[in-house]
């Protein structure tokens, strides 16, 4: 069942306005502006407390985990996702070839932050990490091409990071302290475009956006088409050569490992 709340496309049709007005106003009207991000929204509205303290009863554990996953997906919806669903980590496919695309053909953001290759653990590190997790949540935002192809793309990518980071922080708060979120796009481009370099890489300092910026799934070779399939969503991948209908939408996705 898709999220019932705010969607970029609904906001667009409701406003009948320009791309700039749509995305900026949408973010602000939902309390998701840069000043109050989705993760702040998440912290304020998430209600579960210490759900990991479930004793030794396996069926009680299962129902608590199911309830917690449901609450987290609802939180993603409230924070601006078009849809969110829990999947098994067994459904996450990691491919070396996909991660290699960051290097060849070289992505313009390659090496610019600690969230992208060669500064991340890559497919092998992610496969190792996956061994400690059974549950994950995948989220998507259906974004009108008009926005994806405009300078407003950064706002929506930022929203994606904020939603997954917010869900991760809510899971941590309930006792799932190893939970980890992954988004898309370069955090250097999305959060630190006004700075010459990533502070962690250039100064050995702290990340400027630890509450919001999350690593890109690409650098780990996570197959997003398979994630979408596992979630039961149709992959409507944007192709600039075949799709010129800017009123259509394309999804951007994020992933949170819960554990």
Site residues (vs ligand SF4, CB under 6 A) = 113-115, 187-188, 191-192, 198-200, 207-209, 213
Of the two residues 110 and 238, which places its CB atom closer to ligand SF4 in the complex?
110
Alpha carbon 28 to its chain centroid, in Å, reads 19
Answer whether the bond into residue 118 is a cis peptide, omega within 30°. yes
Nearer to ligand SF4, 35 or 131 (CB): 35
Residue with Cβ nearer ligand SF4 (179 or 209): 209
CA distance 66 to 189: 36
Task: Choose between 209 and 249: whose C-beta lies nearer to ligand SF4.
Answer: 209
The C-alpha atoms of residue 159 and residue 24 are separated, in whole angstroms, by 11
**Residue nearer to ligand SF4 on the CB measure, 219 or 251:** 219
Q: Tell me the closest approach of the beta carbon of residue 103 to ligand SF4, in angstroms.
A: 18
Token pair listed for 109: 């953001």
Closest CA to 223 of 125, 91, 93: 93
CB of 203 to ligand SF4, least distance (A): 9
Min CB(99)–ligand SF4 separation in Å:
18
DSSP for 46-102 reads -----TT--TT-HHHHHHHHHHHHHHHHHHHHHTT-SEEEEEEGGG--B-HHHHHTT
How far apart are CB 82 and ligand SF4 at their closest, in Å? 25
Q: What is the largest CA-CA distance in the chain?
A: 56
Q: Least distance to ligand SF4 from the beta carbon of 91, Å? A: 28
């Amino acid at each position: 069942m898709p999220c019932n709340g705010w969607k970029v496309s609904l906001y667009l049709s409701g406003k009948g306005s320009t791309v700039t007005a749509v995305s900026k106003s949408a973010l602000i009207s939902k309390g998701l502006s840069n000043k109050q991000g989705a993760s702040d929204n998440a912290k304020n509205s998430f209600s579960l407390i210490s759900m990991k303290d479930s004793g030794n009863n396996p069926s009680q554990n299962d129902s608590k985990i199911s309830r917690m996953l449901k609450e987290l997906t609802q939180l993603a919806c409230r924070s601006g996702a078009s849809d969110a669903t829990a999947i098994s980590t067994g459904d996450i496919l990691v491919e070396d070839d996909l991660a290699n695309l960051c290097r060849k053909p070289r992505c313009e953001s390659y090496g610019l932050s600690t969230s992208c290759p060669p500064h991340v653990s890559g497919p092998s590190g992610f496969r190792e990490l996956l061994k400690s997790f059974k549950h994950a949540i995948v989220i998507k935002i259906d974004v009108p091409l008009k926005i994806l192809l405009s300078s407003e793309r950064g706002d929506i990518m930022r929203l994606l990071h904020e939603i997954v980071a917010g869900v991760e922080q809510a899971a941590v708060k309930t006792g799932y302290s190893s939970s980890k979120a992954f988004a898309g796009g370069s955090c250097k481009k999305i959060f630190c475009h006004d700075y010459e370099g990533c502070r962690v890489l250039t100064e050995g300092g702290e990340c400027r956006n630890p509450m919001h910026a999350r690593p890109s799934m690409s650098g780990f070779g996570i197959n997003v088409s398979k994630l979408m399939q596992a979630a039961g969503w149709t992959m409507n991948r944007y192709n600039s050569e075949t799709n010129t209908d800017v009123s259509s939408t394309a999804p951007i996705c994020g992933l949170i490992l819960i554990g």
